[in-house]
Amino acid sequence: MPTTLVAEESQITNLNLMFGASGVECNELVTTLSSEATTFDIIQSIIKTKPTEIDSPFSVLDLRVVIDLMNKWTTNLPTVKPFYAVKCNPNISLLSALASLGSNFDCASLAEIKSVLSLGVSPERIIFANPCKMESHIKYAASVGVNVTTYDSVGEVEKIKRWHPNCELILRIKPEEETGAQFRLGLKYGAFLNEVPKLLKAANMAGLKVTGVAFHIGSMGANAQAYSGAILLAKTVFETASQLGMPKMKILDIGGGFSSGSKLDEASLIINDAIKSYFENEENLVVIGEPGTYFAETTFTLATKVIGKRVRGELKEYWIDDGIYGTLCMTLYDYFIVTCSTLKFGSKHENVTCKDTKTYPSTVFGPTCDSTDTVLKEYPLPELEMNDWLVFSNMGAYTTACATNFNGFSSSAKNIYIAYLS
């Protein structure tokens, strides 16, 4: 059995020392008084103790959550090595924490590879998981020793042969179903089963070694049962390569699409059973996954300040200093469930949470001059005043990573506070 990571005090201390010495991009390190302190407690403390110094909007990264998620991954998927999908949230503090906990990394570009390597991570812990890469990015990967990448076309084989002939290939295939997925990556990537022999032969003729198979069942709401069919399909590709007389494959990449809730329990049962059923006789098999949302979503909490107010009868309208062009971009999607709390630091009764007071249908706008920048519509909120705060949970996945500087406004990306145990 593999060693399970445990969220012990010594482990937190190691993370504290790492952040203290690494110069990660954050405003300061926030020490919680006890393990019982919540992220909400930390946000209140930051606002209360530094009312004139605090830059808003800001996010809090809770390292305790990162550790708990790694523990759960290791317990539920003991044979699957995590390769964190950097695109989901490239915050250097999160990458540092994951690196220290033993995670590997899924990078899709030169910039992402550079960011991970800057932390002292070995290039062997990186997969260049982009089936269509710029030539300059392939050259860079070759120069720094990132020697595993994905492909799904003959054209990509030609580029890799020319610019990175020592690179090992993983063939990206298209799962037969992406049931329920809000983001169906199969629309853009993956080879059909009838294309597999041609792609394997192309790599073999080019003198490139194909060491495995990758797939992605889609993100946000994908049916976990799809993993079983995709793993069976991958087994078929392993067999096809063997029939063509190619070297034995060793890597099974089951992609991403994992969530941090109870769905991981369901997915892990299906994945573990499928690996055992279809790859039981495969010696030295290496199984990897590419979790992004799983590690990022619940680890970040966003704090935004009320910068404007308008009352129209029962309807209350507020402006905050972050919006859909910034960290709150995910609120545009119907499937995103907004979890919003309030802090009355600008109201008469300072530092009062607003859980048991009367609520009103409220509209919340972002700071830009675009009327599309509307975060909430007719959302039940207590009456707020200028300099009160709205706090949004689960704001780590595809938030700051997708934010813009539209209209000159920045997201919370530059203002990250790290929560850890003292």
The catalytic site residues sit at 369
Rounded to the nearest 5 degrees, what angle is found at the Cα of 340, between the Cα atoms of 334 and 346?
140
d(CA 106, CA 115): 12
**Distance in angstroms (rounded) separating the CA atoms of residues 166 and 203:** 12
Count of helix runs (H) and strand runs (E) in the chain: 11, 18
Specify whether the CB–CB gap between 170 and 253 falls below 8 A: yes
Strand, coil or helix: what is 393? coil
What is the rounded distance in angstroms from the CA atom of residue 255 to the CA atom of residue 272? Answer: 14
Residue 417 to residue 56: CA distance in whole angstroms:
12
Of the candidates 92, 97, 133, the one whose C-alpha atom is nearest the C-alpha of residue 116 is 92
**What gap in Å lies between CA 31 and CA 387, rounded to an integer?**
25
Backbone angles phi and psi of 33, in degrees to 5: -75, -30
Question: 164 — phi, psi (to 5°)?
Answer: -150, 65
Residue with the two structure tokens 């972050």 = 322
* 183 DSSP 8-state letter: B
* Region of residue 313 (left: phi > 0; alpha: psi -120 to 50; beta: else): left
Q: Would you say the C-alpha torsion 4, 7, 8, 10 has a positive or negative sign? A: positive
User: Measuring CA to CA, how many Å separate 150 from each of 99, 112, 138, 193, 258?
Assistant: 22, 16, 12, 16, 20
- The residues, ordered by sequence, that sit 6+ positions from 25 with a Cβ below 8 Å of its Cβ are 92, 93, 414, 416
- Taking the CB of residue 301, how many other CB atoms lie within 10 A of it? 27
What is residue 283's DSSP assignment?
Answer: T
DSSP conformation class of 248: P
Distance of CA 312 to the CA centre of its chain: 39
* Max Cα distance, the chain (Å): 77
Residue 313 identity: G
